[in-house]
Structure 1
Amino acid sequence: MDKKLKVNKEILFYAFRYALGRMSYAPSTIMDNIKANINDLSTGDIQAYIREVAECENYGMEMDKTSWLGFKAYLENELKIRQ
């Protein structure tokens, strides 16, 4: 990942919503970028990501579902750390 780029947190969330349910490399790329920027996201932002994953009705393929649920667990753990 190129650390020289600055991405607005709203753009990151839009990309996340686009990637959720896609059967491509987009989900992995977006999850990696959110993780790389986790310290710049608010608790509310993280809760929004968790809610979107939890409410998703189509994750893509089974392996995509596994990835998204693992990402959700990562975010939930981040919230626990912040407490």
Structure 2
Amino acid sequence: MTDITITIQEFQQFIIYAERYAIGRMTYVPSEVNQIIRKYLPFIANNTLGVLIQDIELEANREMLGMDFDKKMWLALLDTLKNERDRRKLEND
């Protein structure tokens, strides 16, 4: 497999695009995207973290997170993202 290099800005955009595409899908995609976000969480910028949190909250309020097991997965990711955001805030204070 060949490695490629992208800018950090491109990475942030791809994470947002993937999350927005995956929310509400009833396929394997939500699980894959959740795994990728969790894997690369240390590299996700604070503003991107905020966008992901806002997106999941919006779709949760609209009841658009997919099937029950998908909803549970997205809400668990939401908790993880909020905990990461809060941890970073404490670190920077």
Q: TM-score range by the shorter chain?
A: 0.7 to 0.9
Equivalent residue number for residue 73 of structure 1:
79
Alignment partner of 2:45 out of 42, 46, 52: 42
Aligned residues: CA RMSD: 1.7
Listed as ranges, the gaps of 5+ residues in structure 2 are none
Distance change in 2, residues 1:6/1:38 (3 Å): farther
Q: Which has the higher helix share?
A: 2
Post-superposition CA distance 1:4-63 (Å, at most 9, x none) = 565622112111100000111101111111111111111111111000000002111111
CA distance in 2 between partners of 1:13 and 1:6 (Å): 18
- Divergent runs of 4+, >3 A: 4-7
Matched, 1:28 2:31: yes
Distance 1:54 1:77 in 2: 14
In the alignment, the residues of structure 1 paired with residue 78 and residue 72 of structure 2 have an alpha-carbon distance, to the nearest angstrom, of 10
Query: Matched residues, percent identical?
Result: 28
Runs (5+) with no aligned partner, structure 1 = none
